[in-house]
């Protein structure tokens, strides 16, 4: 009997809390709505992720996540105010409400997620340390690199990861340790070392930008092995769970749309689909938008204006861009990657 009363009390408490949560939106979301724009902190120019183009418009994979959030809240992906931030400023800026979201290619770690008073709401790019080699070496896997000379920056986790990886796989290597990034690059491209190792996204940017002519980007390959975890995620501050939910699900919606085969080109036809899952995602069967506290057409707006995750990836960092990064870990879980969205239902 006592148990039943306790259970009823707990149920009542949950119901009251839940009701209180739904009744009024958090202060951050209210502020965003009142302002009419999402303040999105972006890092200072990183190719493929966030960079102003020749017309001064911000473009990139990280920028697209901000646009998806704006499309979710306002139905218009252009209602974003971009605030350029350096890596020292980015967390302060979100703590002090200067921006609502930081898309500064920040690695998701426990300390940042907790002690700084911030929340990571997902992972839009699985980065990690990789290896780049000249194609003429004919190497297909990092496991074949035994005895290679490796260009690496000193005193970084990169150097430690490198040593660990080779030791674990019982291989040897000769490190060529160079302090300055420019010098590492020229050493690698002039053939002083066989392998260059750093974060895979930065390997791709180097390959796109710094290959000296007459060599071309096709003369270098980034090996599929990724030996460290650098998951990059959007950051919001603690305290407004509803806003955090919107940021979380805006990214999930991009991933879910790719999995469901909804693209910016076919999204209008998809509205007529009989598939109950697609009907739910696109808001033809209402409910999802109401639960999130936004318009029912939120996923439609995201996909129509920004595109699904695969489109954005391809356009900004993938094969449709100069960076030509393979999907790798960022492929959908159905295709052997790690990108996975909880179901929208």
Strands (DSSP E) contained in the chain are 38-43, 51-52, 58-59, 80-85, 101-103, 118-120, 125-127, 129-134, 148-152, 173-177, 195-199, 220-222, 230-232, 235-237
Pick the binder of another protein from 25, 32, 51, 200 (CB under 8 A).
51
Contact between 209 and another protein by CB under 8 A: the answer reads: yes
Distance CA 252, CA 286 (A): 18
Pick the binder of another protein from 30, 52, 109, 149 (CB under 8 A).
52
CB 233 within 8 A of CB 13: no
Shortest Cβ 89–another protein spacing (Å): 6
**With CB under 8 A, what is the number of residues at the site for another protein?**
38
Which tokens belong to 230?
């650098």
- CA distances 210 to 189, 206, 277, Å, are 8, 5, 45
Place of tokens 């057409």: 297
**Residues 270-289 as x/- pattern, contact with another protein by CB under 8 A:** --------------------
48-56, 68-76, 295-303, 326-334 -> range binding another protein (CB under 8 A) = 48-56
Which tokens belong to 134?
């000249």
Contact between 44 and another protein by CB under 8 A: the answer reads: yes
In this structure, the number of other CB atoms found within 10 A of the CB of residue 75 comes to: 17
Contact between 45 and another protein by CB under 8 A: the answer reads: yes
64-72, 135-143, 157-165, 204-212 -> range binding another protein (CB under 8 A) = 204-212
In this structure, the number of other CB atoms found within 10 A of the CB of residue 334 comes to: 10
Distance CA 101, CA 237 (A): 8
Smaller CB separation from another protein, 48 or 128? 48
Distance CA 105, CA 41 (A): 10
Helix (H, G, I), strand (E, B) or coil at 105: coil
Shortest Cβ 136–another protein spacing (Å): 20
Shortest Cβ 72–another protein spacing (Å): 22
Shortest Cβ 214–another protein spacing (Å): 6
Distance CA 27, CA 3 (A): 37
**Residues 79-98 as x/- pattern, contact with another protein by CB under 8 A:** --xxxxxx-xx--xx-xxxx
16-24, 42-50, 123-131, 166-174 -> range binding another protein (CB under 8 A) = 42-50
Q: Which helix (H) or strand (E) holds 26?
A: none
Shortest Cβ 27–another protein spacing (Å): 8
Smaller CB separation from another protein, 239 or 342? 239
- Residue 317 is classified by DSSP as T
Smaller CB separation from another protein, 155 or 213? 213
Distance CA 276, CA 274 (A): 6
**Residues 96-125 as x/- pattern, contact with another protein by CB under 8 A:** xxx---------------------------
**Residues 322-341 as x/- pattern, contact with another protein by CB under 8 A:** xx------------------
**Nearest residue to 102 (alpha-carbon basis) of 113, 30, 76, 313:** 113
Smaller CB separation from another protein, 87 or 266? 87
Pick the binder of another protein from 129, 321, 329, 339 (CB under 8 A).
321
Smaller CB separation from another protein, 228 or 316? 316
Residues that bind another protein (CB under 8 A): 31, 44-48, 51-58, 81-86, 88-89, 92-93, 95-98, 205, 208-211, 213-214, 321-323
């Amino acid at each position: 009997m006592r148990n039943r009363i306790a259970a009823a009390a707990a149920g009542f408490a949950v119901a009251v809390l839940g009701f209180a949560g739904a009744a009024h939106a958090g202060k951050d979301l209210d502020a965003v709505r009142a302002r009419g724009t999402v303040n999105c902190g972006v890092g200072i120019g990183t190719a493929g992720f966030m960079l102003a183009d020749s017309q001064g418009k911000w473009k990139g994979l990280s920028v697209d996540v901000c646009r998806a959030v704006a499309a979710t809240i306002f139905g218009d992906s252009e209602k974003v105010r971009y605030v350029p931030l350096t890596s020292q400023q980015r967390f302060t800026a979100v703590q002090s409400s200067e921006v609502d979201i930081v898309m500064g290619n920040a690695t998701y770690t426990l300390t940042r997620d907790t002690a700084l008073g911030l929340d990571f709401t997902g992972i839009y790019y699985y980065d990690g340390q990789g290896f780049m080699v000249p194609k003429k070496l004919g190497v297909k896997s990092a496991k074949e690199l035994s005895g290679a000379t490796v260009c690496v920056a000193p005193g970084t986790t990169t150097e430690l990861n490198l040593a660990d990886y080779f030791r674990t796989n019982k291989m040897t290597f000769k490190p060529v340790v160079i302090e300055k990034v420019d010098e590492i690059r020229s050493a690698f491209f002039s053939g002083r070392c066989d392998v260059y190792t750093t974060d895979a996204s930065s390997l791709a940017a180097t390959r796109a930008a710094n290959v000296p002519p007459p060599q071309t980007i096709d003369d270098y390959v980034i090996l599929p092995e990724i030996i460290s975890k650098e998951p990059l995620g959007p950051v919001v501050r603690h305290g407004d769970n509803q806003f955090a939910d919107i940021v979380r699900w805006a990214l999930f919606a991009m991933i879910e749309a790719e999995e469901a085969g909804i693209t910016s080109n076919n999204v209008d036809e998809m509205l007529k689909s009989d598939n109950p899952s697609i009907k739910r995602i696109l808001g033809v069967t209402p409910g999802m938008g109401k639960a999130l506290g936004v318009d029912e057409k939120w996923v439609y707006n995201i996909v129509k204006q920004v595109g699904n995750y695969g489109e954005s990836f391809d356009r900004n960092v993938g094969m449709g861009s100069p960076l030509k990064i393979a999907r790798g870990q960022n492929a959908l879980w159905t295709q052997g990657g790690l990108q996975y969205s909880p179901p929208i239902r």
